[in-house]
């Protein structure tokens, strides 16, 4: 299941999926609690702050001490309730704008998202954090060009979609994009219950295992697809997709899935995506190359005999190679024999 013509939308979790859980726990939550007393003291009656305060239960919204105590209690227990998430987003704004807070995305995230975006795949976010907080995070990342909001086509939270562990929430998201079938969504999350809910709603879903995340139970690996980087989706899932086609031959798979062929053609040189070229993290250079894909799983028999008239020492491309070249569109044309060159005029394209 390479991210290609078979996947139209990649729906992304944030915490533990595109950035470390510790960023939220050790940076964002403490920052909100640090600035909370001053904000309460100086902005209590200001219309902007009152919008957030009025969302709290009545027993907390009219008393500063009770309000702060309630916020501290909810935050310490990481309660995912909408009025707390909205307030946290508001409290983080100044930290992001001042540069004190920057979202440290995992090294593989920038280039892979840019690659998918360049293919025309829609990127969407679904997080328990409020939509305004999501946009703040994507606007202030550790990329050389920090603002990545231009890549995201839609944003979902527990207010406009629902709880992330309920399948109805994913049905709601899919219903807001009727031009995309549920099976054309790919949801990526570190939370197994969220992955299960997305699958129940008809979406494809993958468990993302990142440094700092909780250990996964052994049975998770048997029941779900698990990856440690987004790049692994490109490397591994195309193989599984071709194997799952069953009676269809590899040639038919290439003809039917042109974009999948592009991923499968690992040996064909690929031009650097302009999105990926300009997105580099400030903490390092290019990502390390991913492990070589299992070529034997997708390779077709290659031609071992040259045709009469073929340039000496030049191997005639196999049928699979030709199909891949047609599907990819950026592979060099198949060399013609001397006789073919005479008999076949070049067509204007």
Among residues 190, 182, 183, 222, which one has the least CA distance to residue 206?
A: 190
When pLDDT is cut at 50, 70 and 90, the band that residue 277 belongs to is: very low
The token pair at 322 is: 């030709």
Give the model's confidence band at 234: pLDDT under 50 very low, under 70 low, under 90 confident, else very high: confident
29-43 vs 64-76: helix axis angle to the nearest 10? 170
Q: Does residue 125 sit in helix, strand or coil?
A: strand
Structure tokens at 215: 């250990």
Cβ neighbours of 336 (radius 10 Å): 16
- Report, as an integer, the average pLDDT of 200-228: 97
Q: Are 11 and 171 in contact (CB under 8 A)?
A: no
Average confidence (pLDDT) over 280-287: 42
- Domain segments of the chain as ranges: 9-17+104-239, 22-98
Contact 173, 126 (CB under 8 A): yes
Across the chain, mean pLDDT equals 77
Q: How confident is the model at residue 17 (pLDDT cuts 50, 70, 90)?
A: very high
CATH code given to domain 22-98: 1.10.720.60
Task: Write down the pLDDT at residue 248.
Answer: 34
State how far the Cα of 283 lies from the Cα of 223, in Å rounded to an integer.
35
Beta bridge partners of 31: none
Cβ atoms 273, 11 nearer than 8 A: no
Average pLDDT over residues 119-144: 95
87-100 exposure pattern, b = at least 16 Cβ within 10 A, e = fewer: bbbbbbeebbeeee
pLDDT per residue as tens digits for the range 148-162: 999 999 999 999 999
Average pLDDT estimate for 14-43: 96
To the nearest 10 degrees (0 to 180), the angle between helices 82-98 and 131-139 is 20
Rounded to 5 degrees, φ, ψ at 123 are -110, 130
Q: CA dist 258 to 114, 249, 325, Å?
A: 20, 14, 10
- Going by pLDDT thresholds of 50, 70 and 90, the confidence category of residue 300 is very low
Report residue 168 as tokens.
């109805």
**240 membership: H or E segment, kind and range:** helix 231-244
Q: How far apart are CA 155 and CA 134, in angstroms?
A: 8
Domains 9-17+104-239 and 22-98 share a fold: no
Six-digit token string for 253: 């798979």
Alpha-carbon distance of 123 to 100, in angstroms, equals 27
Taking CA atoms, 328 is separated from 255, 263, 264, 314, in Å, by 11, 9, 10, 22
Confidence bin at 6 (pLDDT 50/70/90)? confident
Give me the pLDDT at residue 235, please.
64
Q: What is the percentage of the chain residues whose pLDDT exceeds 90?
A: 63
The structure tokens listed for 46 are 């200001």
The stretch 195-209 carries a mean pLDDT of 98
Residues 94-106: tens digit of each pLDDT: 999 999 999 999 9
pTM of the model: 0.67
Tell me the CATH architecture of domain 9-17+104-239. Answer: 3-Layer(aba) Sandwich (3.40)
Q: pLDDT band for position 3 (50/70/90)?
A: low
- pLDDT tens sequence across 49-91: 999 999 999 999 999 999 999 999 999 998 989 999 999 999 9
Task: Supply the pLDDT for residue 290.
Answer: 36
Is residue 135 predicted with pLDDT exceeding 60?
A: yes
Q: State the pLDDT at residue 196.
A: 98
Residue 276 has pLDDT above 70, yes or no: no
Q: What is the pLDDT of residue 347?
A: 38
C-alpha span between 322 and 329 (Å, rounded): 11
Residue 179 has pLDDT above 60, yes or no: yes
pLDDT band, residue 195 (cuts 50/70/90): very high
Which of 269 and 175 is assigned the larger pLDDT? 175
Residue 179, burial from CB neighbour count under 10 angstroms (0-12, 13-18, 19+): exposed
């Amino acid at each position: 299941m390479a991210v290609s013509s078979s996947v139209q939308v990649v729906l992304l979790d944030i915490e533990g999926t595109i950035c470390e859980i510790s960023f939220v726990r050790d940076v964002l939550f403490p920052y909100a609690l640090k600035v909370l007393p001053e904000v309460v003291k100086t902005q209590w009656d200001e219309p902007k702050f009152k919008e957030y305060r009025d969302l709290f239960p009545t027993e907390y919204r009219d008393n500063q001490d009770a309000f702060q105590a309630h916020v501290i209690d909810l935050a310490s227990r990481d309660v995912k309730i909408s009025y707390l998430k909205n307030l946290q987003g508001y409290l983080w704004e100044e930290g992001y704008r001042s540069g004190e807070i920057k979202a440290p995305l995992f090294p593989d995230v920038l280039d892979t998202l840019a690659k998918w975006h360049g293919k025309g795949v829609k990127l969407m976010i679904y997080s328990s954090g409020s939509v305004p907080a999501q946009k703040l995070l994507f606007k202030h990342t550790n990329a050389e060009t920090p603002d990545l909001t231009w890549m995201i086509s839609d944003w979902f939270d527990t207010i406009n979609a629902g709880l992330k562990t309920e399948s109805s929430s994913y049905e709601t998201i899919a219903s807001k994009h009727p031009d995309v079938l549920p099976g054309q969504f790919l949801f990526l999350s570190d939370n197994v219950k969220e992955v299960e809910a997305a699958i129940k709603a008809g979406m494809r879903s993958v468990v993302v295992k990142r440094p700092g995340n909780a250990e996964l139970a052994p049975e998770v690996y048997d029941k779900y697809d698990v990856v440690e980087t987004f790049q692994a989706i490109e490397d591994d899932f195309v193989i599984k997709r071709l194997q799952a086609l069953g009676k269809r031959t590899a040639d038919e798979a290439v003809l039917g899935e042109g974009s999948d062929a592009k991923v499968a053609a690992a040996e064909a040189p690929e031009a650097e995506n302009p999105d990926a070229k300009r997105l580099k993290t400030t903490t390092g250079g290019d990502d390390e190359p991913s492990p070589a894909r299992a070529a034997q799983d997708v390779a077709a028999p290659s031609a071992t005999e040259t045709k009469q008239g073929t340039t000496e020492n030049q191997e005639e491309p196999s049928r699979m190679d030709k199909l891949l070249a047609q599907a990819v569109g950026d592979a060099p044309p198949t060399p013609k024999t001397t006789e073919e060159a005479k008999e076949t005029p070049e067509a204007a394209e």
